[in-house]
Amino acid sequence: MKKHHKMYRTHNCGELTMQHTGKEVMLSGWVQKSRDLGGMTFVDLRDRYGITQLVFNMETHADLCNRARKLGREFVIRVTGRVSERSNKNPQMPTGDIEIMAETLEILNQSRVPPFTIEQHTDGGEDLRMKYRYLDLRRTVVRKNLELRHRMALETRKYMSGEGFIEVETPVLIKSTPEGARDFIVPSRMNPGEFYALPQSPQTFKQLLMVAGLDKYFQIVKCFRDEDLRADRQPEFTQIDCEMSFVERDDLLDTFEGLARHLFRTIKGIEVEKGFPRLAYSEALERYGTDKPDLRFEMKISPMTGLVKGKGFQVFDSVDYIGGICVPGCSEYSRKQLDELTDFVRRQQIGMKGMVYLKYNTDGSLKSSVDKFFDGPGLRQWTALFDARPGDLILVLAGDRELTLKALGELRIEMGKRLGLRDNNVFKPLWVVDFPLLEWDEETGRYYAMHHPFTSPYEEDIELFRTDPGKVRAKAYDLVINGVEIGGGSIRIHDESLQQLMFDNLGFTEEEARQQFGFLLNAFRYGAPPHGGIAFGFDRWVALFAGIESIRDVIAFPKNNAGRDVMIDTPSAVSEAQLEELFLKLNLPSKE
């Protein structure tokens, strides 16, 4: 061992197995926990690679053992000892067959008692763990997510390079971008009164790179959007941002289906079939009540308006849409379970007034909540419509078309959850295509670009700009996996007059368009190639592969729901001097 005198370790804490028994080794790491059994003291030594059990023997090494007894949680130590076979093996651990009979022990650093236990199941609440995120990151569960993230980034780069894409960095201090969220802005000291914006995406730059002839670009890149936060949103997040020239929609979908399949193969060991299903936006809404359908299970929505309206049931007769889903094997749902579902659809975000059900009992009889209004043959038409089988339960909602479809979509997901049909180990990717180009906003009384203003409409729909702009379809697409939107993009407009038509419909004056995107419009006058692209939400994709809901768990240092980093305590005030240098004065509302 002498020759290793200057070293900290001969092995890491995750690699020693039966084949090493008898070997003299040196390990360094953190004390995860220790158990003092009198004659023996056991210490679990942890590093990034795993946990190895150390044994300190009172009989043979009394001094050493006495010192080991005093080790606190998270002390950093170095030990030498001999690898030996355990009598009490732990098959759950890669190193569970062996232990180290310690011969020397050095404390490299002490630790205060950590504010929560650093183990698989911690007693630390979210706030505490975020405040001490560097300790939270010592936990295997959290670290595993970062390792997964690293591997996904690496495989993305491999695939993209293999396809001829080059990674180009684009600036972070830029001008407002067109993604439709609020910008984060940065005051410029050298240009008093002027501000940079942080990129909501590299959208304009990647299009400029196409004008520049780069042909195939990608970048794993931070983007910034000042939006209200939910569990699956962060003010700064990462995209796999991509753009390519001389392509039409299907070339793009093929290329990026390739990326998805590559990640499934290399990361999850899953062969996903070529030719992901493609679903038009309108159909996604009609059959799944959402533009992010979860295809792991069927239970599609069927419209019933024609079948049940005008039959004397006031609730149905007074609305413009009635639709339902057929839930397999739930005809025996109790009163209480049905009430729960009614409460579910009545909840504020969903906002339905009530729910109608039809039980197709296993004995073939029918029982519904509207028996007073529909006779046997009437109800048989419902079961025929859904192709229902004895044992099924048909759930029906009625109301405004858009809202009701949305509610049916949520009910479908809820039933999928209840029936265990949303298995995290099953993956069903699809492309949602043909989004509307424009979206009407009631509040401001104008159209907005549903994707962004550089998205190309279908040529055959351009006429509709004059008659029914809301009907114009875009060459836009989303990659959706298991009900999660993983990415989205579009074929871009590369023709100046079409771009102008788009700006007109969005209510931009020529002046405004020039002011905001003049650099891009100018560039387009110098031979812009036909081009298109896509961006994937990298955090979300990692979370999906990790089988977790919140993207926070796949980000090393995330912000909380209020957009704060509680560890470094930011955002925070700046000094008077800093403000002066920038010629800024605060004008805060007085506290009530």
Q: Which residue has the tokens 């996996």?
A: 481
We find the least distance from the C-beta atom of residue 539 to ligand ASP, in angstroms, to be: 13
Around Cβ 389, how many Cβ atoms within 10 Å?
Answer: 14
We find the least distance from the C-beta atom of residue 217 to ligand ASP, in angstroms, to be: 11
Output 324 or 488, the one with its CB closest to ligand ASP.
488
We find the least distance from the C-beta atom of residue 535 to ligand ASP, in angstroms, to be: 4
Output 203 or 255, the one with its CB closest to ligand ASP.
203
First to last CA, the chain: 70
Output 201 or 383, the one with its CB closest to ligand ASP.
201
We find the least distance from the C-beta atom of residue 180 to ligand ASP, in angstroms, to be: 9
CA distance 397 to 63: 75
Output 53 or 490, the one with its CB closest to ligand ASP.
490
Q: Which residues would be at the binding site for ligand ASP (CB under 6 A)?
A: 179, 201, 203, 488-490, 533-535
Output 209 or 398, the one with its CB closest to ligand ASP.
209
Element (H, E) at 44: strand 40-47
Element (H, E) at 532: strand 531-537
- In sequence order, what are the residues at sequence separation of 6 or more whose Cβ sits closer than 8 angstroms to the Cβ of residue 265? 271, 272
We find the least distance from the C-beta atom of residue 187 to ligand ASP, in angstroms, to be: 25
We find the least distance from the C-beta atom of residue 12 to ligand ASP, in angstroms, to be: 40
Output 16 or 244, the one with its CB closest to ligand ASP.
244
C-beta of residue 496 within 8 angstroms of C-beta of residue 169? no
Q: What backbone phi and psi angles, to 5 degrees, belong to 250?
A: -70, -30
C-beta of residue 246 within 8 angstroms of C-beta of residue 531? yes
Output 156 or 203, the one with its CB closest to ligand ASP.
203
Q: What backbone phi and psi angles, to 5 degrees, belong to 80?
A: -120, 160
In whole angstroms, how far apart are CA 75 and each of 7, 46, 96, 575? 18, 10, 22, 38
We find the least distance from the C-beta atom of residue 409 to ligand ASP, in angstroms, to be: 22
Output 201 or 505, the one with its CB closest to ligand ASP.
201
We find the least distance from the C-beta atom of residue 511 to ligand ASP, in angstroms, to be: 25
CA distance 478 to 473: 14
Output 430 or 535, the one with its CB closest to ligand ASP.
535
Output 199 or 399, the one with its CB closest to ligand ASP.
199
Strand partners, 54: 43, 100
Q: Residue 532 burial (CB < 10 Å; 0-12/13-18/19+)? A: buried
Q: Which residue has the tokens 């199941």?
A: 121
Among residues 135, 121, 118, which one has the least CA distance to residue 32?
118
We find the least distance from the C-beta atom of residue 289 to ligand ASP, in angstroms, to be: 23
CA distance 295 to 429: 8
Q: What's the DSSP call for residue 526?
A: G
Among residues 418, 288, 396, 293, which one has the least CA distance to residue 352?
396
Output 13 or 555, the one with its CB closest to ligand ASP.
555
Give me the long-range contacts of 115-122 (CB less than 8 A, separation at least 24): 117/73, 118/30, 118/32, 118/46, 118/73, 118/74, 119/32, 119/33
- In sequence order, what are the residues at sequence separation of 6 or more whose Cβ sits closer than 8 angstroms to the Cβ of residue 404? 319, 321, 322, 323, 352, 397, 398
Around Cβ 162, how many Cβ atoms within 10 Å?
Answer: 10
Strand partners, 84: 99
C-beta of residue 368 within 8 angstroms of C-beta of residue 252? no
CA angle 261, 492, 519 (to 5 degrees): 125
Output 145 or 207, the one with its CB closest to ligand ASP.
207
Among residues 8, 100, 84, 87, which one has the least CA distance to residue 51?
100
Output 52 or 219, the one with its CB closest to ligand ASP.
219
CA distance 407 to 388: 21
Output 222 or 296, the one with its CB closest to ligand ASP.
222
